[in-house]
A and B are shown apart, each in its own frame.
Chain A
Amino acid sequence: MAKQRSRRRRGPRLLDLPGIWLGQHLQSAMATLRRLLETPLPTGMTVAVIGISLALPAALYVLADNLRTMAGGWDQTAAISLFLQYETNDGDANRVAADLRGWPEIAQVQMITREKALDEFRALGGFEEALEQLKNNPLPVVLAIYPRTEHSPPAQLETLQTKLLELPEVDFARMDTLWLQRFQAILDLIQTGVLLLGGLLGMGVLLIVGNTIRLEILNRRIEIEIMELVGATAAFIRRPFLYAGAWYGLLGGLTAWLLVTLAILLLQGPVSRLASLYRSEFPLSGLGLSAMGIILMGSVLLGLVGSWIAVNRHLRGAEPG
């Protein structure tokens, strides 16, 4: 017995254990990857399904991101155009403008004098003859009101509009940005869609990985049984399956990123042509570094959780009957 013990002592020493543990994990991870790549077709199909599932919400996110960038260029447009009574002269208008600048909900007021308005009107072209017929300038003074951004919500803008209409010098007030508000609402909708679709398809990825791992466990039943027979711990047997899940997630995430990037490259041409029709440029932005990081981390996590569920249901470790 004593002889036995000393003979068996040539195992790992305590100080080596962290290195052994790390080495085991690295070895297991790489061995798992090699095994996945040995069967490229089934692995590729699983990865493709995960990639497409994740590409959909990612693409929607990119769409929302680009629309937001586009809308950002319009933020400087006046929110409310205030048309003053026709009789109001530039001096009175200046006084009203100065008064309005003191209002807390207004950031900036810009005055468009009757002369300037007429010039702009002429510049539009086609009205020269009609304007020649007129003795007087028919245009009123217009004050462009830029509200503070925190007063932007539609309801508050409407309150501001009502308040402005009560001023005696004001003829009528036109909300310029109602459509911008609607556009914002649509953006919010898309963003909610990203979350919903992401959640739904994330669940799908969980199920795909879970099922793939479940089949793999069933395929390797005999091997697992023999490993348990010779003293493999539950953790050792589970490890390669968990790594497989993580690899599926990572490869799927990379595929999703590739698909979205490819789509952007393909769309950039048509979008540039469209933008040039409006005498503008619009470089599409792709998945940023942080978005890519989130997708990859999320996909690895989904893969891990999916395989963890399968492993927990089907690999309970050695259990005597």
Chain B
Amino acid sequence: MIRFEHVFKRYPERGEALTNISFEMKVGEMAFLTGHSGAGKSTLLRLIGLLERPTRGQILVNGRNLATLPRRQIPYHRRQVGMIFQDHRLLPDRSIFDNVALPLVVTGLGQKEVGRRVRAALDQVGLLKRERATPVALSGGEQQRVGIARAIVGRPPVLLADEPTGNLDPDLSREIFELFERFQYVGVTLLIATHDLALVNSMQHRTFTLDDGRLLNDTGRW
């Protein structure tokens, strides 16, 4: 589903942020991406979502070669990749419903179908009753769940999460990770960047470890 072949990413100001990364993830696989701050976790995820392009190497997502994907196709690629951020990236002046509906609205889906799918997504994250609220009225954990609902509402085959529990206490974090496991059961491929090692170790999933841009350790087989 996701395949990296000798990927390098260099920032002119910093030098190499990712060095010779190669790995492959199968459909329905769930993996953690760990490493110290500045190791390159966010950069790796941004490459998959085509928020950035690699300096060298090839990335294939769902059979698509991102290197040869024309710019006009980028939006359609992003619809296949749900992204969750530590800072949620919600629109503060829109209701929870509108925030979650955004990925569907931009595809031009009919209003009725949008309503149905948004409520299904909100139900999955346990926020069905808060659809009229605005993000500021929600707690950090709830806001993160809105971000998750927005990422899954379009039913993308790939889900990326960048330190989704960075600001949450251990109980809430575990809840969120268990939510991710449920998505894995329905066939979604998940890659979750986190430095919550305790939680990673308590769950039996493949784990990539980055160290200063190099893939140090991959507990999975490929």
Partners in one complex: yes
- Residues on A close to B: CB < 8 A? 1, 3-4, 7-8, 11-12, 20-21, 23-24, 222-223, 226-234, 236, 317-321
Say whether A223 contacts B91, CB under 8 Å: yes
Q: Does B200 contact A (CB under 8 A)?
A: no
State which of A12, A24, A320 has its C-beta within 8 Å of the C-beta of B74.
Answer: A320
What secondary structure prevails in chain A residues at the interface with B? helix
A-B contact count (CB 8 A): 78
Task: List residues of chain B with CB within 8 A of the CB of A229.
Answer: 49, 51, 78, 83, 89
Task: List residues of chain B with CB within 8 A of the CB of A8.
Answer: 155, 157
- List 19 contacting pairs A-B, 8 Å CB cutoff, sorted by A: A1-B157, A8-B155, A11-B107, A226-B91, A229-B51, A229-B83, A230-B103, A230-B150, A231-B77, A231-B154, A232-B75, A234-B75, A236-B108, A318-B74, A318-B75, A318-B78, A320-B52, A320-B74, A321-B52
Say whether A231 contacts B76, CB under 8 Å: yes
Say whether B187 contacts A3, CB under 8 Å: yes
- State the Cβ distance, A288 to closest chain B Cβ, in Å: 41
Other than the known A4-B27, A226-B102, A230-B102, what 18 A-B pairs have Cβ atoms closer than 8 Å?
A: A8-B155, A23-B110, A229-B83, A229-B89, A230-B79, A230-B106, A230-B154, A231-B78, A231-B106, A231-B107, A233-B72, A233-B106, A236-B75, A317-B71, A318-B75, A320-B50, A321-B51, A321-B53
Say whether B52 contacts A20, CB under 8 Å: no
Say whether B155 contacts A236, CB under 8 Å: no
Task: List residues of chain B with CB within 8 A of the CB of A20.
Answer: 108, 110
What secondary structure prevails in chain B residues at the interface with A? loop
- State the Cβ distance, B74 to closest chain A Cβ, in Å: 5
- Residues on B close to A: CB < 8 A? 27, 49-53, 71-72, 74-79, 83, 89, 91, 102-103, 106-110, 150, 154-155, 157, 187
Task: List residues of chain A with CB within 8 A of the CB of B50.
Answer: 318, 320
- State the Cβ distance, A214 to closest chain B Cβ, in Å: 21
Which of B72, B83, B108, B110 has the most A CB atoms < 10 Å from its CB?
B108
